[in-house]
Amino acid sequence: MRLTGAQIVMEALLQEGIDVIFGMPGGANLPMYDALAKYPQIHHVLVRHEQGAAHMADGFARVKGDVGVCFATSGPAATNLVTGLANAMMDSIPLVAITGQVVTNLLGNDAFQETDVTGVTQPVTKHNFLVTDVNELPQVMKEAFYIAREGRPGPVLVDICKDVQNDSTDFVYPENVNLPGYNPWFGLIGEDVKRAAAIINKARKPLIIAGHGVQMGQATEELRKLIELAEIPVTTTLLGLGNLPETHPLALGMCGMHGEAHTNLAIQECDVLIGVGMRFDDRVTGKLDDFAPNAKVIHLEMDPAEVGKNVTPDVALIGDCKDSLQNLLTLVQPARHLEWLEQIQAWRGDGRERDILGLEVEELIPPYVMRQLWHSTKGDTIVVTDVGQHQMWEAQYFIHERPRQLLTSGGLGTMGFALPAAIGAQFAARDSRVWAVAGDGGFQMTLQELAVVMQEKLPIKIAIINNGFLGMVRQWQQLFYEKRYTGTPMLSPDFVKLADAYGMSARRITRKEDVADAFVEANAHDGPFLLDFRVKEEVNVYPMVAPGAAVGDLIRRPKIVQGPSGVTPAW
């Protein structure tokens, strides 16, 4: 079958099971868009900014558990993808970005809308390709999807010159990939498994930190079996929320900079720490020299580059975490750790005495909104957050029951992620309710994608936590810069009028007693719905580990004390 390069791209997408792509046409990728017209099996979503295309593909991939695809033309369109590619790279999301490039004889001549896209994106992709020969294109497409999926997933970019898209060749899609030197799967070493099991069997105060890799490796059931067999409490990273239902008696919640106090104290007190599918990121560890000082460390990790990068383990099980957990289950002995669990419960009780929801206040505070969001969304609900205070409050006050229920930007911390990623998530889970939760700052970075929500008739619900500040930055300024709020007060548009301009239903909420009713109204609405929560401005996320401090050295809210005139909030 003789096809043009543009047709080869479409045939490759069909072969890889891709039926939705996110992108925008331009001069250098028009041949691909012309070919797309003859492939009705592939639905194209027209974005309003290419960064949105990358985030949509990212959100799609997180929910689908497979590759998301985005398109862009050359030059500024391709560079607009960079933030989204970096976001996917940091969070290990399988994504293939396909960009157009100037014709081959203009490469390196500073032609109109020419950019060295492979050079620009090399640091933020797992791999990238520049295609200058149509005969290489079928193999490149096969390899791009293979690299994006296999081993530790990540984004791959394929940059295709315009004349290559127009050239023709005999098309045969390869069945196999042969990449000498690339071996993404590592076999477990039996002696290491035995050593790890022996350490666990001797533990008196064991603790697991479960990360994003547990979800991506579909190892949640193996994790549950191990913790119940050996009675090991589990804390998670931000991206690991949902690895274990948070109602499980051994689930402790999130750890790290804004993790629960009892989880961080458990890390500092445990004698065996097992990291599963996580990379000991600085937001988890705090000051490395003081991290888990009493613990033998076991690290279950797919990428050998992450082993020992921050925390040196006593034993490393390099490979798929599902396999590693299955092997451990054959050697770990049943155990009980009653005293250890009682100690953690005591710390947890102390945390409840400091919980902001225990303050009897009439003001509308963000944690209350997050807890009401959870109360209103029982069932098959996906929450996609932006980055900032609201992101941490969601992690603390929404009760996560399953993997892939929370989508958020973890490693890169990308403001503007929520709305476009929610669009991708809705395409991956058509029958699920999707909530995009954003601050007033991050929402304004990608709010143009509201047009996509309306054009595609998506029933996405949006909650804006509107406090008139770049909230997390303001919190740091309050705590560490003597309340010099430089550059953080924010004027926002009337989000209800803005939604109306796009033809979207919306409501503004200023009173605590209206929150539950607003969520009921939004959830019952057939189409998209935006809620603008005008919350109290200067509310902080606690606990907090200050930069450079040990993970157990927490800034905490004072205990709630009833005085003669009631409770005085310690914001």
Burial class (CB in 10 A: 0-12, 13-18, 19+), 195: middle
Alpha-carbon span 464 to 490, nearest angstrom: 14
pTM: 0.96
Name, in order, each residue with C-beta under 8 angstroms of 175's C-beta and a sequence gap of 6 or more.
Answer: none
What residue type is assigned to position 331 of the chain?
L
Alpha-carbon span 548 to 533, nearest angstrom: 34
Say whether both 382 and 314 belong to one domain.
no
Residue 282 lies in a domain: yes
Alpha-carbon span 207 to 226, nearest angstrom: 12
Secondary structure in 3-state letters for 271-331: CEEEEECCCCCHHHHECHHHCCCCCEEEEEECCHHHCCCCCCCCEEEECCHHHHHHHHHCC
Other CB atoms within 10 Å distance of the CB of residue 558: 10
Q: CATH no. for residue 262?
A: 3.40.50.1220
Say whether both 47 and 67 belong to one domain.
yes
Residue 175 lies in a domain: no
Strand order in the sheet with 529-534: 406-407, 381-385, 433-439, 461-466, 529-534, 505-509
Ordered DSSP codes for 479-500? HHSTT--TT-B-----HHHHHH
The catalytic residue among 1, 38, 112, 559 is 112
**Has 113 been annotated as catalytic?**
yes
Q: CATH no. for residue 55?
A: 3.40.50.970
N-term to C-term CA, the chain = 68
Q: What is the pLDDT at residue 567?
A: 53
Angle between helices 418-428 and 50-64 (to 10 degrees): 50
Say whether both 452 and 513 belong to one domain.
yes
Say whether both 99 and 212 belong to one domain.
no
Residue 15 lies in a domain: yes
Ordered DSSP codes for 504-561? -EEEEE-SGGGHHHHHHHHHH-SS-EEEEEE--SS---SSEEPTTSBTT-EE-PPPP-
The catalytic residue among 11, 16, 50, 449 is 50
Residue 250 lies in a domain: yes
- CB-based burial, 52-82: b 16+ in 10 Å, e otherwise: bbbbbbbbbbbbbebbbbbbbbbbebbbbbb
Q: Using an 8 Å Cβ cutoff, are 224 and 206 in contact?
A: no
The catalytic residue among 32, 216, 472, 544 is 472
Q: Closest by alpha carbon to 154, among 114, 123, 200, 189?
A: 123
Q: Are strands 127-131 and 155-161 parallel, antiparallel or unpaired?
A: parallel
Other CB atoms within 10 Å distance of the CB of residue 570: 15
Say whether both 494 and 378 belong to one domain.
yes
Say whether both 492 and 514 belong to one domain.
yes
**Domain region containing 140:** 2-170
Alpha-carbon span 307 to 295, nearest angstrom: 16
Say whether both 340 and 367 belong to one domain.
no
The catalytic residue among 15, 113, 343, 448 is 113
- CB-based burial, 211-242: b 16+ in 10 Å, e otherwise: bbbbbbbebbebbbebbeebbbbbbbbbbbbb
In the numeric block, the tokens 């992108």 are attached to 23
Q: What is the pLDDT at residue 295?
A: 98
**Has 370 been annotated as catalytic?**
no
Say whether both 134 and 158 belong to one domain.
yes
Per-residue pLDDT of the chain (571 residues; tens, 9 = 90+): 899 999 999 999 999 999 999 999 999 999 999 999 999 999 999 999 999 999 999 999 999 999 999 999 999 999 999 999 999 999 999 999 999 999 999 999 999 999 999 999 999 999 999 999 999 999 999 999 999 999 999 999 999 999 999 999 999 999 999 999 888 888 889 999 999 999 999 999 999 999 999 999 999 999 999 999 999 999 999 999 999 999 999 999 999 999 999 999 999 999 999 999 999 999 999 999 999 999 999 999 999 999 999 999 999 999 999 999 999 999 999 999 999 999 999 999 998 888 888 877 889 999 999 999 999 987 779 999 999 999 999 999 999 999 999 999 999 999 999 999 999 999 999 999 999 999 999 999 999 999 999 999 999 999 999 999 999 999 999 999 999 999 999 999 999 999 999 999 999 999 999 999 999 999 999 999 999 999 999 999 999 999 999 999 999 988 876 555 555 566 6
Alpha-carbon span 68 to 65, nearest angstrom: 9
At which of 140, 170, 200 does a domain end? 170
Say whether both 317 and 448 belong to one domain.
no
Residue 26 lies in a domain: yes
Say whether both 454 and 386 belong to one domain.
yes
Residue 44 lies in a domain: yes
Say whether both 133 and 199 belong to one domain.
no
**Has 162 been annotated as catalytic?**
yes
Inter-residue long-range contacts of 487-496, CB under 8 Å, 24+ positions, other chains counted = 490/440, 490/441, 492/440, 492/444, 492/466, 492/468, 493/444, 495/440, 495/443, 495/464, 495/466, 495/530, 495/532, 496/530, 496/532
Say whether both 315 and 396 belong to one domain.
no
The catalytic residue among 162, 205, 296, 322 is 162
**Has 112 been annotated as catalytic?**
yes
365: Cα separation from own chain's centroid: 25
Split into its structural domains, the chain has a count of 3
